[in-house]
A and B are shown apart, each in its own frame.
Chain A
Amino acid sequence: MSSTIGPKGPSDAAPGRVLQFRRPEPTTTAAASPSPPTAPSSEPAPSSSTPSQAAVFDAVAGQASTIAMPVEGAALSQLVARLRATSGDQASVKNAGPVIVKTAEGPVLSGSVTIDTRPALHALDGVVRVGGALTVEGTFKNADLLALRDIVVVEGRLTFESLKSH
C-alpha cells in the first residue's frame, strides 16, 4: 500500500519526493483523492538523495512497503496544506473517485459518478454542479430525488435509468 504525492505546483517544497502515509479514515475531511491504497505500484519510487523514513521502497520485493509510516508532524501539515490548496477545505475524501469540492458557486462534484443507492444519492444534497456525467439508477422514493434539487449544471451526460419506486 503506497501513495505517491508528486509535485503539484510551484509551492511544492520537495518536488518528486515520495511520501508513504496511512490512508485517512473515510470520515476524514480534507480534500484529495490520493491513489487507491490497494492499487499495485508497478514503478519504483523516484530516487531521492536524502531518503527519509517515509520514502522506503523495497527494491528486493519490487514493490513499495505496505505502510512505511503515518504522515506526521511537518509532513502531515504539508500534505494537508497541499490538499486544501488544491481542493478546498471541506471536501470529503472517499476513494480516488469523484470529490465534492466547495467553491464560490457552491459544492461541485468533480468527475463522473453513478448513483445507485439512497445514501449515495443523499450525498449529492446541495451540489450545484457535476463536472462530468451523472447516472442515477436503482430504487428510490420521490423524496430521495430531492437531493438533486440544487444541481444547476451537469457538464456531461445525464442518465436516469432503471429507476424503481421504493
Chain B
Amino acid sequence: MPLTLDQATALEHVGDTLYIGFNDDLERISFPKLKSIGGALIIEHNGALKEILLPALERITKYLHVHDNAGLVVVELPKLRELGGEVSLVGNPNLHTVKLSVASAPAKATKLEIKDCGKPIYPSLHIKVAG
C-alpha cells in the first residue's frame, strides 16, 4: 500500500530545513497548515511521488529544490510569498502542473531552474523578484 505524508495536519512551522527524500513508497505530500520553513525545502528521489500540496506555505527562508521524483505530476505552493534562494525543479519527467508564485525573493539569490521535467504546462508559475 502506498504511503502518504498528509497526517501532520496541525504543522505550521519548521525551524530549519524540511527534507523529504528517498522514500520509495511515498505517493503524496500534503501539509495543509504549514506556513513557514526556516531553512530550505528539499524534496528528492521519491520515485512514486505524484503530488506536493502545500496550500498554506508562505515563506521558505532558503531555497526550494524538487529533484528526481520520477512520478511527480503536481506541485502546488500557491501562497508562497517569500523565498530566500533559488527554485530548482529538475529531473521530474512527469511534472506538468506547478502552482507557485514568489513575490519577494531577493534578487541576488533567486534563480529559476527547470530541467528535465514534463512537457511544461505551468498554469501559475510566477517568480517576481522584489529586490
Pair B22/A149 contact, Cβ less than 8 Å: no
Determine the chain B residues whose CB is within 8 A of the CB of A152 once the complex forms.
10-13
How many chain-B residues does the 8 Å CB contact rule pick out? 26
Within the complex, which residue of A149, A153, A163, A164 is in contact with B12, where a contact is CB–CB below 8 Å? A153
Tell me the bound Cα distance from A142 to B25 in angstroms.
Answer: 11
Determine the chain A residues whose CB is within 8 A of the CB of B7 once the complex forms.
142, 145-149
Question: Shortest Cβ distance from B49 into chain A, in angstroms?
Answer: 11
Determine the chain B residues whose CB is within 8 A of the CB of A128 once the complex forms.
10
Pair B12/A133 contact, Cβ less than 8 Å: no
A165 within 8 A of B: yes
A158 within 8 A of B: yes
Pair A163/B26 contact, Cβ less than 8 Å: yes
Pair B8/A148 contact, Cβ less than 8 Å: yes
Q: Inter-chain contact count A-B, CB under 8 Å?
A: 86
B131 within 8 A of A: no
Residues of chain B in range 1-16 having any CB-CB distance to chain A below 8 Å: 1-5, 7-16
Question: Shortest Cβ distance from A120 into chain B, in angstroms?
Answer: 16
* Listed residue (A146, A149, A165) with the most chain B CB atoms within 10 angstroms of its CB: A165
Pair B20/A160 contact, Cβ less than 8 Å: yes
Query: Can you list, as one digit per residue, whether each of A152-166 has a CB less than 8 Å from chain B (1) or not (0)?
Result: 111111111111110
B18 within 8 A of A: yes
B84 within 8 A of A: no
Q: A146-B7, A149-B8, A151-B10 are in contact. Are A163 and B23 (CB under 8 A)?
A: yes
Q: A159-B19, A161-B19, A165-B2 are in contact. Are A149 and B9 (CB under 8 A)?
A: yes
Tell me the bound Cα distance from A97 to B15 in angstroms.
Answer: 20
Pair B39/A163 contact, Cβ less than 8 Å: no
A150 within 8 A of B: yes
Tell me the bound Cα distance from A100 to B129 in angstroms.
Answer: 43
Pair A161/B22 contact, Cβ less than 8 Å: yes
Pair B23/A161 contact, Cβ less than 8 Å: yes
Tell me the bound Cα distance from A26 to B78 in angstroms.
Answer: 46
B104 within 8 A of A: no
Tell me the bound Cα distance from A140 to B26 in angstroms.
Answer: 11
Pair B23/A155 contact, Cβ less than 8 Å: no
Pair B14/A154 contact, Cβ less than 8 Å: yes
Determine the chain A residues whose CB is within 8 A of the CB of B10 once the complex forms.
128, 149-152
Question: Shortest Cβ distance from A55 into chain B, in angstroms?
Answer: 41
Pair B22/A162 contact, Cβ less than 8 Å: yes
Q: A140-B3, A142-B1, A165-B25 are in contact. Are A160 and B19 (CB under 8 A)?
A: yes
Q: A140-B3, A160-B5, A165-B3 are in contact. Are A154 and B15 (CB under 8 A)?
A: yes
A162, closest chain B residue (CB): B22
Tell me the bound Cα distance from A156 to B17 in angstroms.
Answer: 8
Q: Sort A-B residue pairs by CB-CB distance and give the 3 closest, nearest first.
A: A157-B16, A163-B23, A155-B15
List 27 contacting pairs A-B, 8 Å CB cutoff, sorted by A.
Answer: A142-B1, A142-B3, A142-B4, A145-B7, A148-B7, A148-B8, A149-B8, A150-B10, A151-B11, A152-B11, A153-B14, A153-B15, A155-B16, A156-B15, A157-B14, A157-B18, A158-B19, A159-B20, A159-B21, A160-B5, A160-B20, A161-B19, A163-B5, A163-B24, A163-B25, A165-B2, A165-B25
